[in-house]
Amino acid sequence: MMKTSSMNKKAQTGSEMVIFIWRIVMIVIIILGVIILIGTQYKKYDIGQAEAALLSKKAIECISENGEMADFSAINLGECTGMKQGRYFVEASTKEKNVSAGDYNLGVLCSSMKLGVNIIHKKPSCLEQNLILLENGMPTAVKLISAIEGEEA
C-alpha cells in the first residue's frame, strides 16, 4: 500500500511539472506574439513627420516671443529645442539672418527632395513652414525648416 501512495505522489509531482512547463511555454508564446505584433505595426507608421512637427513647434517657441522675433544672434537652437547632436536639422532664416542647428546634410537632403531628387537611403522627414513675425514692429517673413533623419529601408 505504501508503494501505491508513493507512486501517486510521483505521478502528481510529474503532472504538476508538465503543467508548469506548459504554462511557461504559453507565456513565452504570448510574449513573442505581442513583440512581433508591435514590431510589425510600428513600422507601418511614419512618426518622422510628427517628430519634425514637434521639432518645428519647439523652434518657433525659441525664435519668437509673443509674435515678436527674438534676436537670432542670441539663439542656440540645439539647446533651445533640446535635441541631441546628429539625427535632426532645424533652420530659421530671414532675408538677412540665419540660425540653424543639427546635421546640415539633412537640410540639403530636404532641399534636394523638394527639387524632385529621389532619396532611397534614410529619407528624412522634412517640414518647411513660412511664418510672419514682428521685428521692431515690422512684419518679417521667416522660413523654418525642420528635418528628422529617416529610418533604414
CA–CA gap between residue 77 and residue 8 (Å, rounded): 74
Q: Which residue has the cell 504538476?
A: 16
Same domain, 34 and 78: no
H/E stretch holding 130 reads strand 125-135
52 and 17, same domain (yes or no): no
Q: Give dist(CA 71, CA 55) in Å, integer.
A: 19
How many domains is the chain partitioned into structurally? 2
This prediction has a pTM of 0.64
The answer to whether residue 153 sits within a structural domain is no
- Give the tens place of pLDDT for each residue, 100-130: 888 888 888 888 888 888 877 778 888 899 9
Q: Are residue 5 and residue 60 in the same domain, yes or no?
A: no
Amino acid 22: pLDDT: 92
Looking at residue 114, its pLDDT comes to: 86
Say yes or no: 94 and 136 in one domain: yes
pLDDT, averaged across the chain = 82
Q: What does the alpha-carbon distance between residue 20 and residue 49 come to, in Å, rounded to a whole number?
A: 47
Classified as helix, coil or strand, 40 is helix
| Alpha-carbon torsion (52, 112, 124, 37), positive or negative | positive
28 with 81, same domain: the answer is no
Determine the average pLDDT of the residues in 69-77. Answer: 80
The range of the structural domain enclosing residue 17 comes to: 1-45
Least confident of 35-49, 100-114, 124-138: 35-49
Do 78 and 5 lie in a common domain?
no
C-alpha distances in Å from residue 50, one per residue of 6, 45, 53, 79 = 66, 10, 5, 20
Sheet holding 138-148, edge to edge: 64-65, 68-69, 125-135, 138-148, 88-93, 98-102
Question: Is 1 a residue whose pLDDT tops 50?
Answer: no
The sign one gets for the Cα dihedral 146, 128, 120, 47 is: positive
- 47-60 average pLDDT score: 86
Which residue, 65, 77, 79, 88, is CA-closest to 150? Answer: 88
Based on the fold, state whether residues 17 and 81 are members of the same structural domain: no
